[in-house]
Amino acid sequence: MSEQTVSDLPHLVEPSADVDPRAQLGAGTRVWHLAQVREDASVGRDCVIGRGAYVGPGVRVGDRCKLQNQALVYEPAVLEDGVFVGPAAVLTNDVFPRAVTPEGRLKTADDWDAVGVTLREGASIGARAVCVAPVVVGRWALVAAGAVVVADVPDFALVVGVPARLIGWVGHAGVPLVRDGATWRCPETGRRYVESAAGLAPLTD
């Protein structure tokens, strides 16, 4: 199916998936086997929600996002357009997790304040990575598989490890950039980027 025609189709929900009637799904979005989309979640156009993925109540997902199999996106996460969340990756929402109160009573939703992870446009989260809320992963940044993100990630950053640390830069194609004089260059697209104290940004023509 061509990219040009996907948005013209209604959303598709595989029969074993659980999509709350209060959730919103954009045109062309597909929700696959055993996935769950909770109440008041909003998923944009042309998204893919993979097998066993979870989208929590009130989560906001932009257009053309992919949540791979078993990805767990807890409320109140916000995913901007073009975000990728890899298999079994987790976006948390509890800074001080406990099952019970100090008195030993089982916690309810009234006993804690959920905090969310924000993934900016084009960001990618690798397989089994964990983003510990509240963090912001910048535009087009890449979090390597298995990384644990505990601090904000700059635009176009490549971060790896536990805790995640900056080891380089990536471009819009997701390929590590190479130093080319005073700029950084994408070996796949040829696009150039410039580094400053504020981070990395595309070089304007």
- Which CATH number does the domain housing residue 38 bear? 2.160.10.10
- Phi and psi for 125 in degrees, rounded to 5? -115, 120
Residues paired with residue 130 on neighbouring β-strands, in sequence order: 90, 148
**Is the CB of residue 22 less than 8 Å from the CB of residue 40?**
yes
**Residue 189 is assigned to a structural domain of this protein:** no
Q: Decide: helix, strand or coil at residue 74.
A: coil
Indicate yes or no: pTM above 0.95. no
**Residue 102 is assigned to a structural domain of this protein:** yes
**Residue 203 is assigned to a structural domain of this protein:** no
What domain range is 99 assigned to?
A: 3-174
Given this model, what pLDDT does residue 158 score?
98
Q: What does each of the 205 residues of the chain score in pLDDT, given as a tens digit? A: 444 445 667 889 999 999 999 999 999 999 999 999 999 999 999 999 999 999 999 999 999 999 999 999 999 999 999 999 999 999 999 999 999 999 999 999 888 889 999 999 999 999 999 999 999 999 999 999 999 999 999 999 999 999 999 999 999 999 999 999 999 999 999 999 999 888 899 987 4
The number of distinct structural domains making up the chain is 1
Given this model, what pLDDT does residue 7 score?
64
Tell me the C-alpha distance between 175 and 187, whole Å. Answer: 7
> With 0-12 CB in 10 A as exposed, 13-18 as middle and 19+ as buried, what is 108?
exposed
**Residue 119 is assigned to a structural domain of this protein:** yes
Which is nearest to 37 in space by CA: 62, 12, 54?
54
Q: What is the largest CA-CA distance in the chain?
A: 62
Given this model, what pLDDT does residue 198 score?
84
**Residue 194 is assigned to a structural domain of this protein:** no
Residue 1 has, within 13 A of its CA and on its CB side, a CA count of 10
Look at the block and give the residue holding tokens 């976006």.
91
Which is nearest to 4 in space by CA: 67, 32, 44, 46?
46
**Is the CB of residue 192 less than 8 Å from the CB of residue 184?**
yes
**Residue 185 is assigned to a structural domain of this protein:** no
**Residue 192 is assigned to a structural domain of this protein:** no
> With 0-12 CB in 10 A as exposed, 13-18 as middle and 19+ as buried, what is 128?
middle
Q: Decide: helix, strand or coil at residue 172.
A: coil
Given this model, what pLDDT does residue 2 score?
42
**Is the CB of residue 82 less than 8 Å from the CB of residue 98?**
no
**Residue 204 is assigned to a structural domain of this protein:** no
Given this model, what pLDDT does residue 6 score?
58
Q: 191: which residues sit within 8 A by CB, 6+ positions away?
A: 171, 172, 185, 202, 203
Tell me the C-alpha distance between 26 and 89, whole Å. Answer: 23
Given this model, what pLDDT does residue 3 score?
47
Given this model, what pLDDT does residue 115 score?
95
